[in-house]
Homo-oligomer: A and B are copies of this chain.
Amino acid sequence: MEDEVDRLVAAWRRERPDLDVEPLEVLSRVSRLARHLDRARRLAFSEHQLEPWEFDVLTSLRRAGAPYQLSPGQLLTQTLVTSGTMTNRIDRLTKKGLVERLPDPSDRRGVLVRLTPEGRDRADEALAGLLAQERAILAQLSRAQRGELAALLRRLTAPFDNIPG
């Protein structure tokens, strides 16, 4: 089946036959799919009164394991936002009672963000819902195809995740 990127690439080949737009076949699809996923996630989380950004922070803490705490800096590398954004997110989650801020005992510059019991429950509930939704989206592919797709994507993400990025 055709998608919007097929149309986009065809249009460029018509308008700019001098350019090789092959890269768009992959990377425009990645960007557009991510936006579609954002919308779908927003909808799925609204049942749990959670915003996508709240989910991202809470689950980062959740999968760190007991006692469910990370530094703001560690949260940055997981969520790919700036430090100003993370400060703001922690403030708002604290006000909602889903996380709390603790001083880092080993570094007085540092702070530890800890999940509250309610925050943990909310994260667990929302995760189950998200996985169900994502499974439905991925039903377009066989198990083997999903594995292949994951492996190909890893080759593109790894350089960003490992080098300073």
Q: Which A residues are within 8 Å of any B CB, using their own CB?
A: 1-6, 8, 11-12, 14-16, 19-27, 29-39, 62-65, 77-78, 80, 124, 127-128, 131, 134-135, 137-138, 140-141, 145-150, 152-162, 165
Contact = CB atoms under 8 A, between A and B. Distances in A.
Contact of A31 (B8, B37, B131, B154): B37
Contacts of A140: 155-156, 159
Given A19-B131, A30-B37, A149-B149, 8 more contacts: A2-B162, A3-B154, A12-B63, A25-B150, A29-B154, A32-B161, A34-B34, A145-B152
Contacts of A36: 80, 157, 160, 165
B64 A33 contact: no
A8 B138 contact: no
